[in-house]
């Protein structure tokens, strides 16, 4: 495959950055940047713990996902739609998978993901920034004695891939993703296990060999994301190594 639109190699991320404590009022907040994609993630404490959580004695993490009107090429007036509902569920599942909900039995955290600018990879950026925001939020809850135990199970990293004419592309931007034969989102953890896998192959079914290759690449590339997450968590005043149960 020829050089990509922005000059990157096939398995190269765009510039990635996490800026912590971006907002004043929520429990925690992170501005996530991935190339021209910019998301603002905030974590708020809710008093309305769902009934099913009370029945089973565990807490909960849910996510919201909204594209701001000026976040896309043309004004987006349909901020909340069926696609946003599907994406927010994936974000919520992925973030919950990193934490033990039984270790914060009375706590309900809402992770709001506002898409300020969309150029591909919004959901994985929300997950990566959301993990950082939740670590910072749980640290505050621990220090405030609202929870007694650190609920972290394993650090997670999310990334997107596309496949075009048999070539694997890491972190596609909007144009690359929209023209791809296959697009795939994957969330892996520090233990080299898969927390979430989502793909569509409408143009061309994916082979087991190709899927295996993408999974192997995701395990290799996760360290890059996790190193940036670690740095951001440290900038938020949390000694991540001590906080982690890993």
Tokens found for residue 127: 């997950």
pLDDT digits (tens, 9 = 90+) for 163-218: 988 899 999 999 998 888 899 999 999 999 999 999 988 777 889 999 999 999 99
CA distance 171 to 165: 16
Calculate the average pLDDT of the chain.
92
Using 50, 70 and 90 to split pLDDT, how confident is the model at 240?
A: low
Is residue 206 within 8 Å of 163, Cβ to Cβ? yes
Q: Give 102's pLDDT tier (boundaries 50, 70, 90).
A: very high
pLDDT value at 243 more than 70:
no
Mean pLDDT across 25-50 = 97
The C-alpha atoms of residue 80 and residue 41 are separated, in whole angstroms, by: 16
Question: 121 pLDDT exceeds 50?
Answer: yes
**Residue 178: predicted pLDDT:** 86
How many other CB atoms are there within 10 angstroms of residue 62's CB atom?
Answer: 18
pLDDT band at 4 (very low <50, low <70, confident <90, very high): confident
122: left (phi over 0), alpha (psi -120 to 50) or beta: alpha
Q: pLDDT band at 246, cuts 50/70/90?
A: very low
Tokens representing 114 are 């506002």
Q: Are 217 and 11 in contact (CB under 8 A)?
A: yes
Answer yes or no: is pLDDT of 10 > 90. yes
For the chain, the DSSP string reads: -PPPTTS--TT-PPPEEEEES-SSSSSEEEEEEETTEEEEEEEEEES---HHHHHHT--EEEEEEEE-GGGSSS-----S-HHHHHHHHHHHHHHHTTB-GGGSTT-EEEEEEEEEE-SS-HHHHHHHHHHHHHHHHHHHHHHTTS-SS--B---EEEEEEEEETTEEEES--HHHHHT-SEEEEEEEETTS-EEEEEEE-SSSPPPHHHHHHHHHHHHHHHHHHHHHHHHHHHHTT--HHHH---
Determine the average pLDDT of the residues in 117-142: 97
Query: What separation, in Å, do the N-terminal and C-terminal C-alpha atoms of the chain show?
Result: 40
Average pLDDT over residues 133-155: 96
The domain over range 16-243 is classified in CATH as 3.30.230.70: yes
pLDDT in tens, 173-186: 999 988 888 999 99
At 53-86, the pLDDT tens digits run: 999 999 999 999 998 887 888 787 666 677 889 9
């Amino acid at each position: 495959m020829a050089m990509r639109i922005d000059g990157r190699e096939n398995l190269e991320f765009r510039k990635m950055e996490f800026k912590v404590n971006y907002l004043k009022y929520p429990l925690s907040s992170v501005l996530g940047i991935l190339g021209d994609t910019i998301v603002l993630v905030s974590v708020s404490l809710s008093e309305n713990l769902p009934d099913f959580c009370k029945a089973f004695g565990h807490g909960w993490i849910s996510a919201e996902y909204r594209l701001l009107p000026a976040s896309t090429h043309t004004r987006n007036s349909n901020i909340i739609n069926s696609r946003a509902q599907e994406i927010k569920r994936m974000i919520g599942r992925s973030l919950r998978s990193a934490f033990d909900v039984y270790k914060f039995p009375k706590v309900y955290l809402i992770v709001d993901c506002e898409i300020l600018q969309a150029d591909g990879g919004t959901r994985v950026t929300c997950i990566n920034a959301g993990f950082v925001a939740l670590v910072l939020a749980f640290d505050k809850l621990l220090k405030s004695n609202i929870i007694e135990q650190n609920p972290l199970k394993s650090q997670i990293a999310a990334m997107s891939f596309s496949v075009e004419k048999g070539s694997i592309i890491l972190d596609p931007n909007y144009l690359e993703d929209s023209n791809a034969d296959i697009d795939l989102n994957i969330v892996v953890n520090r233990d080299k296990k898969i927390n979430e896998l989502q793909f569509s192959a409408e143009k061309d079914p994916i082979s087991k060999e190709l899927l295996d290759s993408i999974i192997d690449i995701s395990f290799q590339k996760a360290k890059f994301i996790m190193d940036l997450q670690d740095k951001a968590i440290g900038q938020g005043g949390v000694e991540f190594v001590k906080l982690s149960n890993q």
